């Protein structure tokens, strides 16, 4: 047992999933986007993903259940996204099994980092043709999720941009994430991605989820939601920047210390955005972009 918990990979996985589950319990998303960048330092996507996807089926079912009262208001609005998800999941799952693990890791970091920084910058421009955009957007989310198990950043960007109110934000997110995790779990089964390591990793992660989710719900009632969300984004950006730098070295694309220029640039950009947030927002939640068709209220 001592040898088991002296394994850096095991200790890191348990620690980061506890943090990520706490964030997910507080915000309704963030489990994979925090877990994956750190866990990829020790595990390949095709080893890590199956365990995370099965756990997310359970996690997303719980989140959907707790937000079920808002589902009737939001399901028609997110249905075009659901239409695009299935073909996206099929494409992404095939890519995961066909591409070298190192390049899958590189692709994961390269896609996630700008999404985090754009979200941190608070960029918003209301999209009037939401239904038209939603199908290809759902396709992209399906590809991203099935390759990385991450979809929170792009979905949060879209929902915040379109002015979803807090409960509809959570319900819409839970509905989409429940569908994508279920689709991906089935796709992984047919592609033979489940191995003996899958239940082992699930056993390491599950206690963190069971503790972290209620802990996050408890904490968020006592701290400013937007401040908590913004600090989590910074942590995520730093980890992704570090992971991308390490991956560039592993793939031979760049040598150390030049590869760490990515991390340095990430720290500088996020530092500026974080300073602007605390200087000008005072930690309060911003109002959503007003639109003639968006739901009233503030976005989570």
Calculate the alpha carbon distances from 36 to 43, 48, 83, 245 in Å.
9, 8, 26, 15
Query: What is the pLDDT of the chain when averaged over all its residues?
Result: 84
d(CA 196, CA 215): 30
Going by pLDDT thresholds of 50, 70 and 90, the confidence category of residue 115 is: confident
Alpha helices in the chain (DSSP H): 2-5, 8-27, 31-39, 45-66, 71-98, 101-121, 130-148, 152-161, 166-190, 197-220, 225-250, 261-280
Instruction: Please tell me the predicted confidence (pLDDT) of residue 26.
Output: 81
Convert the pLDDT of each residue in 148-172 to its tens digit.
888 888 888 888 777 777 778 888 8
Instruction: Please tell me the predicted confidence (pLDDT) of residue 268.
Output: 95
Read off the pLDDT of each residue in 261-290 and give the average, rounded to a whole number: 77
Going by pLDDT thresholds of 50, 70 and 90, the confidence category of residue 299 is: very low
Instruction: Please tell me the predicted confidence (pLDDT) of residue 145.
Output: 93
Going by pLDDT thresholds of 50, 70 and 90, the confidence category of residue 298 is: very low
Choice between 146 and 26, residue whose per-residue pLDDT is larger:
146
Cis amide prior to 257 (ω within 30 degrees): yes
Is the per-residue pLDDT at 287 higher than 60? no
Instruction: Please tell me the predicted confidence (pLDDT) of residue 4.
Output: 57
Instruction: Please tell me the predicted confidence (pLDDT) of residue 250.
Output: 87
Going by pLDDT thresholds of 50, 70 and 90, the confidence category of residue 293 is: very low
Q: Please give the model's pTM, rounded to 2 decimal places.
A: 0.82
Calculate the alpha carbon distances from 206 to 54, 202, 221, 252 in Å.
10, 6, 24, 35
Is the per-residue pLDDT at 76 higher than 80? yes
Instruction: Please tell me the predicted confidence (pLDDT) of residue 178.
Output: 93
Percent of the chain with pLDDT over 70: 92
Percent of the chain with pLDDT over 90: 36
Convert the pLDDT of each residue in 234-264 to its tens digit.
888 888 899 899 889 988 888 888 889 999 9
CB burial readout 249-258, b (16+ within 10 A) else e: eeeeeeeeee
Residue 209 tokens, joined: 């989820």
Residue 286 is classified by DSSP as P
Is the per-residue pLDDT at 19 higher than 50? yes
Instruction: Please tell me the predicted confidence (pLDDT) of residue 290.
Output: 41
């Amino acid at each position: 047992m001592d040898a088991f918990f002296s394994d850096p990979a095991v200790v890191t996985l348990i620690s980061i999933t506890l943090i990520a589950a706490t964030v997910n319990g507080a915000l309704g998303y963030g489990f994979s986007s925090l877990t994956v960048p750190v866990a990829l330092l020790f595990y390949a996507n095709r080893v890590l993903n199956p365990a995370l996807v099965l756990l997310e089926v359970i996690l997303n079912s719980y989140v959907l259940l707790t937000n079920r009262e808002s589902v009737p208001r939001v399901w028609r609005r997110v249905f075009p996204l659901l239409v695009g998800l299935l073909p996206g999941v099929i494409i992404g799952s095939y890519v995961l099994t066909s591409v070298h693990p190192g390049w899958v890791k590189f692709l994961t970091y390269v896609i996630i980092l700008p999404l985090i920084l754009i979200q941190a910058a608070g960029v918003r421009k209301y999209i009037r043709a939401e239904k038209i955009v939603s199908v290809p957007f759902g396709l992209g989310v399906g590809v991203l999720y099935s390759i990385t198990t991450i979809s929170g950043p792009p979905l949060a960007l879209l929902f915040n941009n379109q002015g979803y109110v807090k409960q509809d934000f959570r319900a819409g997110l839970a509905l989409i994430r429940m569908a994508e995790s279920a689709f991906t779990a089935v796709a992984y089964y047919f592609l033979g991605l489940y191995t003996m390591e899958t239940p082992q990793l699930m056993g390491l992660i599950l206690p963190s989820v069971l503790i972290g989710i209620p802990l996050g719900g408890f904490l968020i009632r006592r701290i400013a939601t937007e401040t908590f969300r913004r600090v989590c984004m910074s942590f995520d950006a730093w980890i992704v920047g570090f992971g991308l730098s390490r991956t560039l070295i592993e793939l031979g694309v760049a040598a150390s210390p030049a590869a760490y220029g990515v991390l340095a640039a990430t720290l500088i950009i996020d530092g500026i955005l974080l300073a602007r947030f605390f200087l000008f927002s005072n930690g309060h939640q911003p109002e959503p972009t007003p639109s003639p068709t968006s739901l009233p209220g503030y976005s989570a």
